[in-house]
Structures are given as C-alpha cells and as structure tokens.
Amino acid sequence: MRQSLWLSDQQPSSAPSVQQSITCDICIVGGGISGIYSAYVLAKQGFSVVLIEGLSHFANGTTAYSTGKLSTQHDLIYSKLSLEDGLLYYKANRQAIEQVMEQNPASFSRATSFLYSTTQQGKAQLMEEARRYEQLGIPHIATKETELALSVELALGIKDEAQINPVAFTNHFAALAKKHGAQLYLNTRITKIELKKRLLLTNLAHSIHYKKLILCTHYPIEALKNLTMLKLQVSRSYLSATKCNDLLEGQYLSIDPSSRTIRTAVMGEDSYLLYGGYSHIVGKQSDVNYFGSLQHEVQTLFELPAPSFCWDAQDMMTFDQIPYIGQVDESDDSLYMATGFNKWGLSSSLVAGHLLCDLLKGIKNPTSALFSPSRSNFGKALYFMLQNGSFIGKEFVKGYVTRQDAPRCTHLGCKTRWNEDDETWDCPCHGSRYNKDGQVIEGPAVYPLDIKKSGHSN
C-alpha cells in the first residue's frame, strides 16, 4: 500500500481552522514536529503562541514519512566538523533528546544507533568518525558483529538513543502545547506574508498580525524568494515497512554509496521492519524502480514477504549538513525559521524549539552561530549555491522544452513533472508537490496548479 506506516492508525486531530482575523505575539506556521515542538517549548515558557497548519492533521507533512529515529548520530558528521562545532552539535542534540526521554518516557523506546559499512573504504571512514567520537567524548562501540544478516566490515554504535512513532510523538507534544496555552489551528493555509506589515493572509481570507513569525513550513514559503532558495537542496528517499517476527535492538544506517536505513517498529499487534534508501536530489531521479528494488532487497536479505507499506518523502539539505535555525536575516528580528534538517529533523526539531525559545527570550545560546541561517562558510556555501542555481536554471529550461504541456508550478513557474507512482505533480526545481487535482501537498508553493489551463483536469 502506498502509505506511510505511521499514518496507518492515525487518530483524528481536533483543532479549529482560523475563523476570524487574529493578533498574536508569536505565530508559528507549520504543524510538523519542528513547529509543534517549538510551540510547546515557547508556550511552556509563557509566550503567547498561535500555530497555523494547512493540512487537516498535525504531523502529516514530512514528519509522518520519516523513519522515526531520534538520534545524535546524523550520518558521518562529526569528522567533518571542527572539534568546537562537533561538541556544540552533539551536546545540543543529546540534551534535547535526553530532555524528552526524561519528561515523556512513554513517547519513545530506546535503541542503539549504528552506522555501518560493508566496504573497506567505508570502514576507514567509520574509523575516522570513531576517532572524532573519542576526541569529543561521545561514548561509542565499534564492532563487526551485528544482528543484521549482512557481511559488515565495521559498525559504529551510540547507545541509549531513541525510536519514536513520529506522528504519535508530535501529537503528544501538540496536546502538551495546547495544555500550556498555545492556540493551534488546522486546515488553514498561509498564502501571503507581508513582512513589513507583520501580517499573514490565509486561504480563508483572514489576516494574522504577529510580532514574531517562525516559519516551520519545511521549505520556507513564498515570501522568501531570496538566497534561501539557493541555500537548500531537496533530497528524496524511499521507505518500506514489512511485517516481521523479530525486533532489532539497534537502528542502522549504512554509509556506503547507496545508503540503506533499517529499524523495526511495533504498530498495534504487529511488528514491522522498516527498510529504505535510494536517496536522490529531486529532479535527478534515475530509471530505477525504487519501490520494486526495495521490495526485492527486503525479500532476499531478510527473507520476508512483500512490504505492507511503501512511501517516499523529501527533506531539505544544507551546504554543511547543519540545519538553519534562527533569525532569517540579521537585520530583521521579527522573522525566524527552522529548516534544512538533512534528514535528521526529528532530533534537530527538538534543538530548534529550545534555540528559538532562547533567541526570543534574548538569552545567549552557544549554538546560535552554528545554526544561524545567515552563517557563511564563504567558499563552501557559494559553491553549493552556484551548483544549486545552475541545476534549477537547467531544470527550468528543460521543463519548457520537454514537458510543454505540464502545469507550471505556482512557486516560480518551473514546469512540473507527473509522478506516476505517487500520482502527484512534482516540481523538480524546489520540490513543491501537488495532488492530481492540483492542490498543494508540499511547499514552497502555496497556490494550487492551474490544471485546467494545462489541459490536465479530470
């Protein structure tokens, strides 16, 4: 079934849509894990918070399509950062995870996170990462023996990490945010931001006046047609969930060129193996049948039947593997964002909640420069932006040459591409997605496609 495992027993969300114009101190747009957790932290600290979500449920964006690992082991990262940055990054994630584990023990289960490789080259990379763990004081294990039926050259593990059902976890914090006084709204899409007036307009023709705005919309929406677009790349991955008998103790990510992610989960009465991979930059997919290949691997490597659930999702990647959390532009202290989670947004969203709260309270936070959206590592960032800009430019032109009849994305006008597997119109430029009727299911676009004009209406 083409559906996320986490959405298979979704409980109904109860929150109204915005029915009148509102004035508030802090408005958060986006009811995924980053928006909801930030609303919870801010409301708990006494801020008056309004959160607006376009969909009919919270946590139904990318959050619902993740693997649900709550980990400090974000791929190979510590060996790529300076010692100082690595320590800040590790501590911020560790503290945020430990805090939720202490306060909400029912919302997760413990697991050891492993990076593994089946090649000699990968082994060398893992040994370098392990050396960096040593220097940073990150407790770890290195072993060749794993519970996986794979011939592993080395696995590098961090104990006492967590696994969650990301939808249930986010809904848990939505309830807590409400309890602390946050006003949460569903079925309300922000269609316009007037930054100078500190005003948002909704699809229901109401306005929201705010003092501070936090964009937790995954891809920052419309208003930010500036360099932010070039600072983000959209990467898609594919996942499957297959009924299994045995649960794994660890959660795994291979660092080999075609990376795979593995964990098990219990949903209701059943246990599932989650198995995924085949990441690619949106617009750069190959001819591989991704779901067919995952199914084949699950059946041959794990001797399991065909998956019960298959889904794909995309996340924002940054030039240095570090998210953008904080003030969007240093000259404007009314606009903040949390995005660019590099497929580790479950734990990084917890970090975001605490960092945004400190920034809004005016408290000095040691990680603010590390996560700042306006940080620059001039050479690396510029190269990333040039590469990204050139890719988007090429896709824009290619769309008009090869897909003349396809509907134009309402974000910046690139020609969309029909995705037969998901029955969606996908924009290869910035990753907006629309259902077959042209309604937005993923931004940055905020307006529906003009399906009629392009002759694609049903």
- What is d(CA 312, CA 29) in angstroms, rounded to the nearest whole number? 23
| Binding string, residues 264-303; x marks residues near ligand FAD by CB under 6 A | ----------------------------------------
Transcribe 406-429 into DSSP letters. Answer: SPBPTTT-PBPEEETTTTEEE-TT
Our CB check for ligand FAD shows the closer of 5 and 123 to be: 5
CB contact at 8 A, 157 and 139: no
Query: Applying CB under 6 A, which part among 40-48, 52-60, 105-113, 148-156 lies near ligand FAD?
Result: 52-60
Can you tell me which of 4, 6, 15, 31 binds ligand FAD, judged by CB under 6 A?
31
Within 10 Å of residue 243's Cβ, how many Cβ atoms? 15
CB contact at 8 A, 312 and 268: no
Site for ligand FAD contains 351 (CB under 6 A): no
User: Given its phi and psi angles, is residue 162 left (phi above 0), alpha (psi -120 to 50 degrees) or beta?
Assistant: beta
Taking CB under 6 A as the criterion, which residues in 239-258 touch ligand FAD? 239
Residue type, 84: E
CB contact at 8 A, 13 and 58: yes
Within 10 Å of residue 423's Cβ, how many Cβ atoms? 10
- What is d(CA 265, CA 251) in angstroms, rounded to the nearest whole number? 10
- What is d(CA 118, CA 182) in angstroms, rounded to the nearest whole number? 48
CB-based closest residue to ligand FAD? 345
Site for ligand FAD contains 27 (CB under 6 A): no
Kindly state the smallest distance separating residue 383's Cβ from ligand FAD, in Å: 24
Can you tell me which of 22, 27, 28, 32 binds ligand FAD, judged by CB under 6 A?
32
- Kind of pairing between the strands at 183-185 and 49-52: parallel
Our CB check for ligand FAD shows the closer of 282 and 414 to be: 282
Give buried/exposed letters for 50-65 (b at 16+ CB in 10 A, else e): bbbbbbebbbbbbbbb
Site for ligand FAD contains 411 (CB under 6 A): no
Site for ligand FAD contains 446 (CB under 6 A): yes
Our CB check for ligand FAD shows the closer of 47 and 219 to be: 219
Taking CB under 6 A as the criterion, which residues in 181-200 touch ligand FAD? 189-190
- What is d(CA 402, CA 399) in angstroms, rounded to the nearest whole number? 5
* Element of type H or E holding 253: strand 250-254
Can you tell me which of 5, 29, 177, 234 binds ligand FAD, judged by CB under 6 A?
29
Kindly state the smallest distance separating residue 207's Cβ from ligand FAD, in Å: 14
| Binding string, residues 56-85; x marks residues near ligand FAD by CB under 6 A | ----xxxx-xxxxx----------------
Kindly state the smallest distance separating residue 197's Cβ from ligand FAD, in Å: 17
Our CB check for ligand FAD shows the closer of 73 and 125 to be: 73
**What residues line the site for ligand FAD (CB under 6 A)?**
29-35, 52-55, 60-63, 65-69, 189-190, 216-218, 221, 237, 239, 313-315, 341, 343-347, 349, 443, 446
